[in-house]
Amino acid sequence: MAIQWYPGHMTKARRLIAESMPSQDVIIEVLDARMPRASENPVVAELRGQKPCIKVLNKSDLADPAVTTGWLRHLEAEHPAPSEATREATPGGKVLAIAISATQSSEARRRIPELCKRLVPPKNGPGKVVRAMIVGIPNVGKSTLINTLMERKVAKVGDEPAVTKSQQLVTLKSGMAISDNPGILWPKIDDEASSFRLAVGGAIPDTAIDYQSVALFAAGYFLRRYPELLVARYKLKGLPETASALIEEIGRRRGCLRSGGAVDLHKASDILVHDFRAGRLGRISLEEPPGLEPPSGIEESA
Ligand SMILES: Nc1nc2c(ncn2[C@@H]2O[C@H](COP(=O)(O)OP(=O)(O)O)[C@@H](O)[C@H]2O)c(=O)[nH]1
Ligand SMILES: [Mg+2]
C-alpha cells in the first residue's frame, strides 16, 4: 500500500521549514515512540543537514516501554557523541534522543530545554536568543509539546492529521524562541510496512487509505506480538488464527452485525484501530529496533 497523500499545505510547510532552517540553532524532531523509524521523515534529515537535533520519541505513555528503551539505545548507537579528543563531526550533526509524553508536562518542560543547552553553546549579549524549530509528521504531538513548553495553550491540538496549518513562533520564559510547524510527510511513501504503521497510528487521514487492509495489518501484528492484550481487551476465549478471524471475532463480540447476521468488517476494524490509537489495548509499539524482531507465525492478512 503506497501512500500518496500530500495536500497542498504540505508543500508550503516544507518551503517554510526550508526557509527558516538557516536561522535555527537546534531542531526538535518529534517522532511517534510507537514507531520511531516509520515516523522519521527523510525530508527533515535532508533539510536539517548538520544542524543539531533532538529526536523526541513522544507518546511514550502509549508505547511498549521495553521497546522504547531499545529504540533509545539504537539511536544512541547510531548517533554517538563526538569524541572530546578528536571533536570529529558525526554525520548528520549532533543528535540526542529522549522518550517523553508531551501530555505529561513536567518531564518535557524540564528535559527539552536541558538537552537544547547541551547541544547549543550559550550565546552572549542582548538579543542572542536560542532558536529551535519543532518539526515532524502529522499527529505526533508537535503542538501539544509547544503548549506544554509554554505552560498554556498557544497552539491548536487535535487527534487527526493537518490540524496545524501555518508556522507559529513563541518565546519561552527562558528566552528561547520556538516555532511550531504543520506536519509534513514525503511525497511518496513506498515502504509498505511503514505506510501501514503510519496509517494505523493516525498520521494519514482514514479517508486517504484502504482502511480494511490497515486494520488487517494491525490485527496480524497484535496477534503475533501482543496476543495477551487482545485476549484481555476483547475477552477472547481462544486466540484466532488469522488477522481476519480476529476482526470477525471482535465484530461478533461487539455486535457489529449487518442485516442477515454477517459481521460489519468496517465497524469491527474501526474498533480495533481506535482502541489502539487511544491506548485502550495497553502499551503497544508497532516497530522494533533492529535485533528485537517479533516472533513470526501468524499470517498478517489471511
Ligand atoms: N497519549 C498521548 N497523546 C498525546 C501525546 N502528545 C500528543 N497527544 C495527542 O495526540 C494528538 C495529536 O496532537 P497534536 O499536538 O495536535 O499533534 P501535531 O499534529 O503533531 O501537532 C492529540 O489528540 C494529542 O492530545 C502524548 O504524549 N501522549
Ligand atoms: Mg500541530
Q: Where in the chain is the domain with CATH 3.40.50.300?
A: 8-180
- Contact between residue 263 and residue 269 where contact means Cβ atoms under 8 Å apart: no
CATH architecture of 8-180: 3-Layer(aba) Sandwich (3.40)
- Please give the distance, rounded to the nearest whole angstrom, from the Cα atom of residue 145 to the centre of ligand 2: 9
Residue 300 has pLDDT above 50, yes or no: no
Residue 55 has pLDDT above 50, yes or no: yes
- Contact between residue 88 and residue 82 where contact means Cβ atoms under 8 Å apart: yes
159 burial (CB, 10 Å; 0-12 / 13-18 / 19+) is exposed
Please report the pLDDT score of residue 302 as a whole number: 37
Rounded CA gap, 64 and 69, in Å? 9
* pLDDT, tens digit, 9 for 90 and up, residues 3-12: 667 778 888 8
Q: Where in the chain is the domain with CATH 1.10.1580.10?
A: 210-277
Residue 69 has pLDDT above 90, yes or no: yes
- Contact between residue 254 and residue 281 where contact means Cβ atoms under 8 Å apart: no
Q: What is the mean pLDDT of residues 75-82?
A: 83
Rounded CA gap, 22 and 73, in Å? 30
Closest ligand by atom to 161 CA: 1
Residue 89 has pLDDT above 80, yes or no: no
Query: Which has the higher per-residue pLDDT, 240 or 302?
Result: 240
* pLDDT, tens digit, 9 for 90 and up, residues 185-224: 887 777 889 999 999 999 988 888 888 999 999 999 999 9
- Please give the distance, rounded to the nearest whole angstrom, from the Cα atom of residue 204 to the centre of ligand 2: 13
Per-residue confidence at 293, pLDDT binned at 50, 70, 90? low
Greatest Cα-to-Cα distance within the chain, rounded to the nearest angstrom: 76
Per-residue confidence at 301, pLDDT binned at 50, 70, 90? very low
182 pocket-lining for ligand 1 (C-beta < 6 Å): no
* pLDDT, tens digit, 9 for 90 and up, residues 239-292: 999 999 999 999 999 999 998 989 999 999 999 999 999 999 999 999 999 876
Q: Which residues contact 199 (CB under 8 A, 6 or more apart)?
A: 1, 3, 206, 209, 214, 217
164 pocket-lining for ligand 1 (C-beta < 6 Å): yes
Mean pLDDT of the chain: 88
What's the fold here for domain 210-277? Conserved Hypothetical Protein Ylqf; Chain: A; domain 2 (1.10.1580)
Please report the pLDDT score of residue 79 as a whole number: 84
Nearest residue to 139 via CA among 51, 38, 247: 38
Rounded CA gap, 196 and 37, in Å? 13
CA distance to 33, 37, 38, 109, 197, per residue, from 216 (Å): 22, 21, 18, 38, 12
Q: What is the mean pLDDT of residues 105-115?
A: 88
> Which numbered atom of ligand 1 lies nearest the CA of 159?
23
Choose the most confident range, by mean pLDDT, from 40-44, 156-160, 279-283: 279-283
- Please give the distance, rounded to the nearest whole angstrom, from the Cα atom of residue 141 to the centre of ligand 2: 7
Q: Indicate which residue's Cα is closest to atom 11 of ligand 1.
A: 159
